[in-house]
Amino acid sequence: MRARIYKLDSFTTKLFSGNPAAVLPLESFLDDTTMQAIAAENNLAETAFFVREGNDFRLRWFTPTVEVPFCGHATLASAAVVMERLEPGRARVVFHSRSGPLTVERRNGAYLMDFPARRLTPLAPDKKVADALGTIPVELCADNLNNYVVLLDSAQRVRDLTPRLDAILQLDCTGVIVTAHGDDGYDFVSRYFAPAKGIPEDPVTGGAHCALTPFWAKKLGRSEFHAYQASRRGGSMRCRLAGDRVEIEGRCVFYLEGDIEDLGAAGER
């Protein structure tokens, strides 16, 4: 048994930047152990698997160590595979997932994704968070997927941050989003650390912006933003808060297309 695999760089217009994702279109889902093994072998922040469901698709995401309930950049990559390889000319796709239906539309060479906004809960200052990041947060809150959202005092502080990943692992959260007012023409910048998911630092995170968009909408009193995730690879997106949804617009480029050999033998381990 062979399976087609695509690798793309998301939230970028050039190779070797943005966030890489692997995408596997399947006739039916493989067993969870095999899909997790494929994700570990790919060793990317996420590998996406999808199967057709009527005119739509059912979508799942795996990090190298766990299945996750949501992933923005691999949804973007999956939409590009559907609309540029499987059904060229298609302009809209709906993925059904553990986070509900996710709609992606192609617009002027980019993809507009409709995601659920995350609820934010203010938290008291936490010395463990400050120690893990090596800097004192201006503000701390949590989103409804158990990520901390940490406001720092400058974009340069976000860019220069060298957190202690072992200490982040000890925090009562699945990941830490750090953010600050933007520079270089961006409204805000961010980074995302999730060692508990097997992702020391995620290069560009669509899901984090489902929390960052309502966070900055409240602070800046508007709903549309041009955001930059300041990881080593880096990547940008446009975000808009629309009620309880977040619209994220991004681009991606294909890096690799091929086949995984002999998945039947993999299932015999």
Q: Which of 194, 233, 240, 197 is nearest to 216 (CA)?
A: 240
CB 213 within 8 Å of CB 263: no
Residue 46 annotated to the active site? yes
Q: Read out DSSP for 139-171?
A: EEEEETTSEEEEE-S-HHHHHH----HHHHHTS
**Catalytic choice (41, 46, 87, 201):** 46
Residues 6+ apart with CB under 8 A from 53: 96
Decide: helix, strand or coil at residue 40: helix
For 38-135, where are the E strands, in sequence order?
A: 46-53, 56-62, 67-68, 92-97, 100-107, 110-116, 120-122
Rounded CA separation 247/203 (Å): 20
- Catalytic residue IDs: 46
